[in-house]
């Protein structure tokens, strides 16, 4: 399928039904294109201006006061007294294994194997290219030397995120890996995170979360080693802090903030599955965003009823309901129109719950990760299918990819030119350098050619 150049109608018969518990999502009927921009806005909380200000204060404080600031923020935000130490001790690490049920250990090991397999296949080939006779160019992939992995733990201990970051870091061969994750109120780190760290042979583990963890990784403190690149998702404080870190010469993977999913559902979709997929992202946090697009009002209404039904028994219903407040179900006219809307919105996850998902998938130009068909829930990619779940949010899928093996590698280019090669390429460089008015460049060639001529 060609990338659609669809133009939506500019006239509207858009209606908004007010949400209530029975109708947890707002439903919009055939919005006109001028109305789309408002429907494509992310949750208001994500744009809150005070977040950047607060994060800048925390950042400056940690960079100035180091560990002392980290201890205070752990007390304030996580309710943890870490005066005994910010680092996880070898004894804490060792004790963790015994606290993880064996069925969970087996599941994590299988997920680890799948993620490893998918990421191993991403290893770039090293190919030497002779661009002209005697002019040899090649690229070598070198691991980023010091990497910081952020594993969220504010409302859920995302040990799956550690797999998503640790596996490619290890495959890339990064020599120094530092893990930061928020402590629990008793000052410990969730044992499943520690078990997963052991599986990945990660031993530098810092009990720090939020913007303060990112600030510490960006410049180092007494207990936290500084790193070259910071990876990992997080809430809006973590995401804003990562963006701030780039001002201090530290690279980041991408802005990977509050989770999002957009589902395109046609009349073949199962509303029970669609509702479950929408709720699986809504339960991440109050500022998560879920969007349903359908060309079938019946599917939208049945999904709406299903969301309400499933919400009633969801342990994190309070969180999910807040996310649903800013979520939308939108009735559009055709598959092309839905795809066009989705490409503009650029969701972190895109589920194609349609009859012919392969065909629609070919037209996707902006999305972090795409899930095809009725039996491919996004939850599979979140945990275990093999793809990475650290993905761009907030529209950044327009210009960023998710985490991959590549994220942990730098490519250094090399070249070697023989005498014959210099004779082939010399005049070209001399001509171009003189035309740019850079005679020293030309001379670097000329002097060598003269030396070769003199034997």
Ligand X SMILES: N[C@H](CO)Cc1c[nH]c[nH+]1
For ligand X, the closer of residues 165 and 332 by Cβ is 165
For Zn ion, the closer of residues 253 and 348 by Cβ is 348
Give residues with Cβ within 8 angstroms of 91, minimum separation 6: none
436 is in an annotated binding site: yes
Query: How many whole angstroms separate alpha carbon 227 and alpha carbon 299?
Result: 48
* Interacting partner of 160 out of ligand NAD, Zn ion, ligand X, none (Cβ under 5 to 8 A depending on kind): ligand X
Question: Does residue 40 touch ligand X according to CB under 6 A?
Answer: no
**Block residue for tokens 């969220």:** 152
349 is in an annotated binding site: yes
Here's the x/- map for ligand X, 294-333, by CB under 6 A: it reads as ----------------------------------------
On whether the CB atoms of residues 306 and 274 are closer than 8 A, the answer is yes
Query: How many whole angstroms separate alpha carbon 182 and alpha carbon 212?
Result: 10
Q: What is the DSSP letter of 45?
A: G
- Write down the least CB distance from residue 301 to ligand X, Å: 26
Query: How many whole angstroms separate alpha carbon 5 and alpha carbon 90?
Result: 58
Interactions with ligand X, residue window 241-300 (CB under 6 A): 259, 281
284 is in an annotated binding site: yes
String of DSSP letters for 174-241: -SEEEEEEPPPTTS---HHHHHHHHHTT--EEEE--HHHHHHHHHH--SSS---SEEE----HHHHHH
105 is in an annotated binding site: no
Here's the x/- map for ligand NAD, 31-70, by CB under 6 A: it reads as -----------------------x----------------
Query: Known catalytic residue: 267?
Result: no
Task: List the strands of the sheet with 260-265, edge to edge.
Answer: 16-17, 26-29, 328-331, 289-294, 260-265, 349-353, 369-372
Termini Cα distance of the chain: 61
281 is in an annotated binding site: yes
Question: Does residue 157 touch ligand NAD according to CB under 6 A?
Answer: no
266 is in an annotated binding site: no
Which residue's Cβ has the minimum distance to ligand NAD?
210
Query: How many whole angstroms separate alpha carbon 119 and alpha carbon 404?
Result: 7
Q: Which of 61, 253, 336, 382 binds Zn ion (CB under 5 A)?
A: 382
Give residues with Cβ within 8 angstroms of 133, minimum separation 6: 420, 421, 424
Query: Known catalytic residue: 349?
Result: yes
The piece of 4-12, 112-120, 157-165, 436-444 that touches ligand X (CB under 6 A) is 157-165
Query: How many whole angstroms separate alpha carbon 277 and alpha carbon 360?
Result: 19
Question: Does residue 78 touch Zn ion according to CB under 5 A?
Answer: no
Q: Which residues pair with 413 in a beta bridge?
A: 139
Q: DSSP 3-state assignment of 121?
A: coil
Question: Does residue 260 touch Zn ion according to CB under 5 A?
Answer: no
Name the active-site residue from 260, 349, 378, 430: 349
List residues with catalytic annotation. 348-349
Contact footprint for Zn ion (CB under 5 A): 382
Contact footprint for ligand NAD (CB under 6 A): 54, 77-78, 152-156, 158, 161, 182, 209-211, 233-235, 237-238, 256-259, 284-285, 288, 348, 389-391, 393
Contact footprint for ligand X (CB under 6 A): 158, 160-161, 259, 281, 348, 382, 389
Which residues sit in the known binding site for substrate?
259, 281, 284, 349, 382, 436, 441
């Amino acid at each position: 399928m060609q990338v659609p150049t669809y133009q939506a109608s500019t006239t509207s018969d858009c209606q908004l039904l007010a949400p209530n518990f029975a109708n947890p999502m707002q439903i919009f009927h055939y919005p006109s294109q001028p109305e789309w921009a408002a429907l494509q806005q992310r949750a208001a909380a994500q744009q809150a201006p005070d977040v950047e200000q607060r994060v800048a204060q925390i950042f400056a404080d940690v960079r100035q006061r180091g560990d002392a600031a980290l201890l205070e923020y752990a007390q304030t935000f996580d309710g943890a007294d870490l005066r005994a130490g910010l680092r996880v001790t070898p004894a804490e690490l060792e004790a963790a294994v015994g606290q993880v049920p064996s069925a969970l250990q087996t599941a994590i090991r299988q997920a680890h194997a799948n993620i490893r397999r998918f990421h191993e296949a991403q290893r770039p080939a090293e190919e030497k290219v002779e661009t002209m006779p005697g002019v040899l160019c090649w690229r070598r992939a070198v691991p980023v030397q010091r990497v910081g992995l952020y594993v969220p733990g504010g409302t859920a201990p995302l040990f799956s995120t550690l797999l998503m970051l640790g596996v490619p870091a290890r495959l890339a061969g990064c020599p120094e890996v530092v893990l930061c994750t928020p402590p629990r109120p008793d000052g410990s780190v969730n044992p499943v995170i520690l078990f997963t760290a052991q599986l990945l042979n990660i031993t530098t583990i810092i009990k720090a979360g939020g913007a303060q963890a990112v600030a510490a990784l960006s410049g180092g403190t007494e207990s936290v080693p500084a790193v070259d690149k910071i990876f990992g998702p997080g809430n809006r404080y973590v995401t804003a802090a990562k963006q701030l870190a780039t001002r201090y010469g530290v690279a980041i993977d991408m802005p990977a903030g509050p989770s999002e999913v957009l589902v395109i559902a046609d009349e073949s979709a199962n509303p029970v599955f669609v509702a479950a997929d929408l709720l699986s992202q809504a339960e991440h946090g109050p500022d998560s965003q879920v969007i349903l697009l359908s060309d079938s009002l019946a599917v939208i209404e049945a999904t709406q009823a299903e969301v309400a039904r499933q919400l009633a028994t969801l342990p994190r219903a309070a969180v999910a309901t807040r996310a649903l407040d800013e979520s939308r179900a939108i009735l559009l006219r055709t598959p092309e129109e839905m795809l066009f809307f989705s490409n503009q919105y650029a969701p972190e996850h895109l589920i194609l719950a349609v009859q012919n998902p392969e065909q629609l998938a070919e037209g996707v130009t902006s999305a972090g990760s795409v899930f095809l068909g009725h039996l491919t829930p996004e939850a599979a990619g979140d945990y275990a299918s093999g793809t990475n779940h650290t993905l761009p949010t907030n529209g950044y899928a327009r210009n960023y990819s998710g985490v991959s093996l590549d994220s942990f590698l730098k490519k250094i280019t090399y070249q070697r030119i023989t005498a014959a090669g210099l004779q082939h390429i010399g005049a070209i460089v001399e001509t171009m350098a003189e035309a740019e008015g850079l005679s020293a460049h030309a001379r670097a060639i000329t002097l060598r050619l003269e030396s070769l001529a003199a034997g």
